[in-house]
Amino acid sequence: MEQQEKLWFTHPRVSKKNEKYPVLYLLHGIGGDEKEWFNQGKPNIILDNLYAQGKLQPMIVVLPNGRAMKDDRATGNIMAQDKVEAFATFEKDLLTDLIPFVEKKYPVKKDRDNRALAGLSMGGGQTQNFAFGNIDKFAWLGAFSSAPNTKEPNKLLPNPQDALKLKLIFISCGDADGLMPFSKRTSDYLRKNKIPHIFYIEPGGHDFKVWKNDLYIFSQLLFKPVDKTKFEGFTVLGTPAATNIRNARYPQILPDGRVMFKVKAPEAQKVQIDLGKKYDLKKDADGFWTGTTDPQSGSFHYYSLLIDGVAVADPSSETFYGMGRYASGIDIPFEGDDFYALKDVPHGDIRIKNFYSKVTNSWRRIFIYTPPGYDQNPAESYPALYILHGGGEDESGWANQGKTNLILDNLIAEGKAKKNGHHYAGCEYRTGRNPKLWRTQSSDV
């Protein structure tokens, strides 16, 4: 403990006689130790500057070694099983040894409202695991670029409403960080369960440039009144759309439904996004055009790039047959949209068949959904539902844009729909489209 104590620091202002202070416990990553934040993150300098600017509540910050084992050095094989297990063991060390030691040695407040936990990478995973698991001990949570040690959301929070007791949940990650899915899945789970939180996405990868900025932002929110209604406006970047092609970072969807675009067209004179309404993009010195739309309704939307007046598909997005041609598409999340999410349930198939039409004297194509277990019961007969597409689309629309297979898979698994055969056919005359309404009109047929 004496060696670790040398790494704890406070700001000079934390020196008033008989005054007690809140505490932030700041955890390192898998390759670091109690010196990692101090040497590479420079938290003392970050906080000194914030104190000087009057933006920070006086606090004590503790930089512990989160590897709870006798030889806790970050040497040898840092991925060895005993060292990885020591990160989980640190929960007990933190709660039963370290916190009581700090509260005995330093003038700190001892209630949960004045105790925060934050960390980077492996420490971000520890922070989520420990803080969500001990809400009676911590009221402020900061998880920066959380690593795979982060428990799955339903294990972190089997009763999501418990998280409402936390004063602040701050989850952050660099947009180019390969560990983004671990932060996003927690944020998605919280959003689904209506738990206010900040999901701060910023430019960068898995490094201290990101983590220094995270500490800079997170520390300013600690131990003071928090307006949770402003959480959605915090992030500077959005989440890459689910309809992006693999690894494409744009377009991005912001929490309030706005969409950010970034397109490289160095020779173009004018670039716009046609998303029902046209939005002008601005060109930078590197030939990238960027812009952000108004908030979009939660549903599937077609869009096009207009490059010098010519409508083209966005090379960063999947394309769909709509608008009478192939166009880009973007799916804006909305509350309750998990009814067409890919879930761990039995899945049916989308099959493509050709049939000869005597009416048109030509071969025609249909898409057919067959329910789970269809091929295991060849003698079974099913009722059929024929679903027609909308204006400007074709027989692929319900299978691709409409997610019919996922909707029916989930309804069948929940016992809310019968196992039907669904046929998606071409039609000369089409109706208008409202994807959100389409998807939500399922019934037991």
Pair (406, 431) in one structural domain: yes
What pLDDT was estimated at residue 13?
57
- Do 281 and 429 belong together in one domain? no
Residue 30 lies in a domain: yes
- 226 and 114 both lie in a single domain: yes
Whether 265 and 369 share a structural domain: no
Residue 416: inside a domain, yes or no?
yes
355 and 323 inside one domain? no
How confident is the model over 159-176, as pLDDT tens digits? 999 999 999 999 999 999
What the block records as the tokens of 93 is: 């060390």
Q: Domain boundary at 203, 233, 263, which?
A: 233
Q: How many residues does the chain have?
A: 445
Which helix (H) or strand (E) covers residue 278, if one does?
Answer: strand 277-280
Residue 445 lies in a domain: no
Task: Report CA torsion sign: 358, 360, 364, 369.
Answer: negative
The answer to whether 364 and 426 are in contact (CB under 8 A) is yes
Whole-model pTM: value is: 0.77
Reported for 222-231, long-range contacts at CB under 8 A and 24+ positions apart, including other chains, are: 222/22, 222/24, 222/57, 222/59, 222/116, 222/140, 222/168, 223/22, 223/57, 223/59, 223/114, 223/116, 223/140, 224/57, 226/167, 226/168, 228/196, 229/196, 231/196, 231/197, 231/198, 231/255
Residue 444 lies inside a defined structural domain of this protein: no
The answer to whether 183 and 219 are in contact (CB under 8 A) is no
Q: Are residues 140 and 249 in the same domain?
A: no
55 — phi, psi (to 5°)?
Answer: -105, 5
Which of residues 334, 359, 389 is at a domain's end? 334
Task: Look at residue 425 in the predicted model and tell me its pLDDT.
Answer: 53
**Which residue among 233, 260, 287 closes a domain?**
233
- Residue 5 has what pLDDT? 46
Cα 255 to Cα 24, 53, 107, 244, 335, distances in angstroms: 28, 30, 40, 17, 11
Determine, yes or no, domain membership for 72. Answer: yes
Give the model's pLDDT for residue 433. 36
Structural domains counted in the chain = 3
Whole-angstrom distance, CA of residue 173 vs CA of residue 183 = 7
Per the structure, the complete domain to which residue 381 belongs is given by: 339-439
Q: Are residues 64 and 183 in the same domain?
A: yes
Which stretches in the chain have pLDDT values below 50? Answer: 1-7, 12, 426-437, 441-444
Q: Is the domain of 203 the same as that of 298?
A: no
Cis amide leading into 251 (omega within 30) = yes
- 69 shares its domain with 218: yes
Neighbours of 307 (CB within 10 A): 18
The span from the CA of 112 to the CA of 135, in Å, is 8
Give how far Cα 426 sits from Cα of 145, 262, 326, Å.
47, 35, 16
Residue burial 308-344, b: 16+ Cβ < 10 Å; e: rest: eeeeebbebbbbbbbbeeebbbbbbbeeebebbeeee
**Residues 129 and 253 grouped into a single domain:** no
Q: Are residues 249 and 226 in the same domain?
A: no
Note the helical H segments in 201-342. 208-221
Note whether 191 and 256 are same-domain residues: no
The three-class DSSP label of residue 350 is: strand
Q: Which amino acid is at 70?
A: K
Q: Can you give the CATH number for the domain in which 371 is found?
A: 3.40.50.1820
The CATH number covering residue 294 comes to 2.60.40.10
- Does residue 166 belong to any structural domain of this protein? yes
In a domain, 68, yes or no: yes
- pLDDT value at position 423? 57
Residue with tokens 């840092």: 78
Tokens of 15: 């020196």
